[in-house]
Each structure stands twice: as structure tokens, then as C-alpha cells.
């Protein structure tokens, strides 16, 4: 059954995208800066709506880590405003390109153009409402936003503030829209609106991403479920390894680039694991270990087969003792979601082998998986981290929200 309201949103977005594609950088940047000011001017209303969302989430008994992802503060809103200003300062990818001339005199130009209409489906974090709108706008796209029901009040206020500001600054109606209905059938139709939507980007947990992929007829850019691994090699420097693991796991456990599984070479396990566990326990981390891990760490909970492919998004870490690099690579090959993987090793050849053989969007040597982020990579911002291989892979910034078009200049040539 077609939902006329949603179809109308699609028509508005498609009409808006046609105009946004030709906006100059200065015009887009002015709108983004005005949106940043509008957020600061509406802090109280945003926080009031967010407090209602947080209260409802706590009443439902949502995990503390999920509630924390939902919660906004005045400082957090200022960060969102600063994010808008940062996007305004980024280079505009639209219009980038190159020329070449063929032997027959044809001049061919390849140039970057917007994708068109992007449907962004996400969970929990209300800041994604602003981040996604900013990136889509700067890359010349219209966006239809559909956040999770747990953040609906926050998202309604945030989207209204930035959409109204955009329209007041001359952007076409429909440039930024929020799907306020949370019923499943509305999302199902959005995923099949091929006449209006050019691409869907899901951002959230494994269940959300799986649902989008299985039900969409619109092209999907799959973003990251992150079952991220760290392998501590027999040549590892413990002074590097322990802080890297702690940072990867505990700095923000509820995100896709957080560490979920620790693999330790058996030749160092008896020396390394007690030191590592002491720090993990100090940070409140529950260890779920293989048989060998539990023999070394009596406080560890025995891991089950279900633990290895699980993205905990919580202070839980699965730990396995492996028989060297080969078994570590085998484990990662079997359970990785192709997001972010790291090796802690001092041996150059072993580190290079890990870099070559691990199939993931980001592969590290002696660094935290938490660096897989558009800002950390120097992109300024990201709309998500793609774990697929077509169109985009890894942190998706402005360039990944564009495609290419060929423009050919002739003087009467025929084949």
C-alpha cells in the first residue's frame, strides 16, 4: 500500500535535489553557518526534547551505553554546531574533475556530481541528524532522514531547526526532511522508492543494516557493523599493546570502531594476559575467554561460539589465545565484519603480512581501531563507515556522497 505522505516527501526531495546540484559553494557554506547559529539559539528547546527521549529510554530499560549515545548536553550541541562550521570549511567536491583529449579530437571531462536524494536511516544518536544533513547538503544532495524511535523528539526539533534555517536562506523546500513516523511500513516504502530516492545509507546495529539490505530495492551503501579485532603478536611491545587495547575497547564502547575481540599469541599469553586483564578489569570490562584464556585468567567468563561474531557495543571483550599469526588471520577471516582490525607487533614482515592479508576497510599496525573515523582521517566529517567494496569503503566523507559524470565536447565527430 502506497503511503501518499511519503511519496510527497520523495517528490519534494527530488525537486530540491535538482536545484541543490547547481548551488555554489559559497551559498551552501552560508547556509551551513546559519544552521550552526540556529542550533546555538535553540539549545534549551533541543535539550528539553532530548531529556524526554532519555527519560523514555531509561523507563524502557535500554542499556546504559545506548542511553549515553542518546543523551545530548549543551557542550554536545556546541560540538554539532562546530561540526557544521567544519563542513562549511571543507573543499566542495562537486565540480572536481579532469580533462583529456582523444586522438579524434573529442575532449572528455570527468566531473563529480551529487548522488541526488539520499535516504539516511539511523539509530540512537540524534547528532547524526545534523551531521548527515550537513554532509548531504555540502555535496549537493537532498536528504530524507529517518532516525530511531528512541530519539524521535530530539530529531524532530533538530531537523526543524536546521530545515527551517535552510529554507529561510533560500534552499528549496524538501532539501532536508525528517520522516517522523516510526511505524515499520513507512520505512519499508522508503526503501522501495526508486522513483525518488537514489541511495539508502543505513547507520546502526547489525539488525538495522540487515533489515535495510534485505528489504531495499533502492541501492544501499552498507555501513559498519564493527566486530573489530586486535591481535597481540609474539613480537609485541607490551607497553604499546596495553594502552592500544584499553583505548580501543573503553574510550567509547558503544561505537562501531570499538574493539570487540582480542587475539593473543600463545607464546606470550601467560605473561601478557594477567597484565592486560588487570587494566581491563580496572576499566570495568567483562572478559569472555576461550579455554586457554580462562586457565590463565580465573576471573574470565567462558566464551561461547556466539561471542566471536558479536558486536557487543558494551564493556565486554572476547579474548582468544591463538597459535600464532596464521590462526589469528584465520579467526579474523571467519568472524570479521571487514570494518577495522589491528596488529600490535614489532616485527616488520609480520606486520606487513597482516596489512596485506586482512580484508577490512581499515587495517592498522600498532594503533587503536578508534581512529577509523572521517575526522581522524582528515576528511573533516563522515556520514558513516562503509564496510562494502562498491562505490565507497571506509569513512565516507563528502567525496563519497558524489558520483561522476562524463561530459564530452566534439566538433562533428562520428563513429
Give the pLDDT band of residue 176 (cuts 50, 70, 90): very high
- Residue 7 backbone phi and psi in degrees, to 5: -60, -40
* pLDDT mean over 115-140: 94
User: What percent of the chain is modeled with pLDDT above 70?
Assistant: 100
Which secondary-structure segment (H or E) carries 286? strand 286-289
Beta strand residue intervals within 115-227, DSSP E: 117-122, 142-146, 176-178, 199-203
Mean pLDDT of the chain: 95
Write the burial class of residue 295 (CB in 10 Å: 0-12 exposed, 13-18 middle, 19+ buried).
middle
- By the 8 A CB rule, do 232 and 288 touch? no
Specify the CATH number for 4-222+388-409; select among 2.40.37.20, 3.40.605.10, 3.90.1490.10, 3.40.50.300.
3.40.605.10
pLDDT at 1: 62
Digit-coded pLDDT (tens) for 370-398: 999 988 888 877 888 998 888 889 999 99
- By the 8 A CB rule, do 358 and 332 touch? yes
pLDDT at residue 254 above 90? no
Give the pLDDT band of residue 297 (cuts 50, 70, 90): very high
C-alpha dist (Å) from residue 326 to 228, 245, 272: 18, 21, 19
- By the 8 A CB rule, do 342 and 368 touch? yes
Digit-coded pLDDT (tens) for 66-97: 888 899 999 999 999 999 999 999 999 999 99
User: How many residues would you count in the chain?
Assistant: 415
pLDDT at residue 124 above 80? no
pLDDT at 369: 97
Domain ranges of the chain: 4-222+388-409, 228-371
pLDDT at 43: 97
pLDDT at 238: 98
The better pLDDT of the pair 224, 43 is held by 43
pLDDT at 399: 93
* pLDDT mean over 342-347: 98
- Domains 4-222+388-409 and 228-371 equal at CATH topology level: no
In CATH, 228-371 is 3.40.309.10: yes
Amino acid at each position: 500500500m502506497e503511503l501518499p505522505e511519503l511519496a510527497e516527501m520523495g517528490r519534494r526531495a527530488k525537486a530540491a535535489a535538482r536545484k541543490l546540484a547547481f548551488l555554489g559553494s559559497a551559498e551552501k557554506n552560508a547556509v551551513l553557518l546559519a544552521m550552526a547559529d540556529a542550533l546555538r539559539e535553540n539549545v534549551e528547546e533541543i535539550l528539553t526534547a532530548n531529556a524526554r527521549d532519555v527519560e523514555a529510554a531509561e523507563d524502557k530499560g535500554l542499556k546504559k551505553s545506548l542511553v549515553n549515545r542518546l543523551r545530548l548536553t549543551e557542550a554536545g550541541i556546541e560540538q554539532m554546531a562546530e561540526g557544521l562550521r567544519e563542513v562549511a570549511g571543507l573543499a566542495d567536491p562537486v565540480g572536481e574533475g579532469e580533462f583529456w583529449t582523444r586522438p579524434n579530437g573529442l575532449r572528455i571531462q570527468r566531473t563529480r556530481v551529487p548522488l541526488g536524494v539520499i535516504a539516511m536511516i539511523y539509530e540512537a544518536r540524534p547528532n547524526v541528524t545534523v551531521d548527515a544533513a550537513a554532509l548531504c547538503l555540502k555535496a549537493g544532495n537532498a536528504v530524507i532522514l529517518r532516525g530511531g524511535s528512541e530519539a524521535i523528539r530530539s530529531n524532530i526539533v533538530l531537523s526543524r531547526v536546521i530545515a527551517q534555517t535552510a529554507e529561510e536562506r533560500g534552499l528549496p523546500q524538501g532539501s532536508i526532511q525528517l520522516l517522523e513516523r516510526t511505524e515499520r511500513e513507512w520505512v519499508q516504502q522508503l526503501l522501495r522508492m526508486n522513483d525518488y530516492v537514489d541511495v539508502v545509507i543505513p547507520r546502526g546495529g547489525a539488525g538495522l543494516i540487515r533489515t535495510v539490505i534485505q528489504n531495499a530495492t533502492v541501492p544501499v551503501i552498507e555501513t559498519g557493523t564493527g566486530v573489530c579485532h586486535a591481535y597481540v603478536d609474539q613480537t609485541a611491545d607490551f607497553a604499546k599493546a596495553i594502552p592500544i587495547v584499553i583505548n580501543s575497547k573503553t574510550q567509547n564502547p558503544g561505537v562501531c570502531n570499538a574493539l570487540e575481540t582480542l587475539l593473543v599469541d600463545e607464546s606470550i599469553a601467560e605473561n601478557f594476559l594477567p597484565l592486560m586483564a588487570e587494566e581491563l578489569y580496572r576499566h570495568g570490562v567483562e572478559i569472555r575467554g576461550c579455554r586457554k584464556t580462562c586457565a590463565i585468567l580465573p576471573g574470565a567468563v567462558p566464551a561461547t561460539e556466539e561471542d566471536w561474531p558479536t558486536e557487543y557495543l558494551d564493556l565486554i571483550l572476547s579474548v582468544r589465545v591463538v597459535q600464532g599469526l596464521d590462526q589469528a588471520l584465520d579467526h579474523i577471516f571467519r568472524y570479521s565484519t571487514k570494518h577495522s582490525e589491528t596488529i600490535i607487533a614489532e616485527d616488520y614482515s609480520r606486520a606487513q603480512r597482516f596489512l596485506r592479508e586482512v580484508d577490512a576497510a581499515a587495517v592498522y599496525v600498532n594503533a587503536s581501531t578508534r581512529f577509523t573515523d572521517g575526522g581522524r582521517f582528515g576528511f573533516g566529517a563522515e556520514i558513516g563507515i562503509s564496510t562494502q567494496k562498491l562505490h565507497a569503503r571506509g569513512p565516507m566523507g563528502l567525496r563519497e556522497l558524489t558520483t561522476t559524470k562524463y561530459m564530452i565536447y566534439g566538433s562533428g565527430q562520428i563513429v
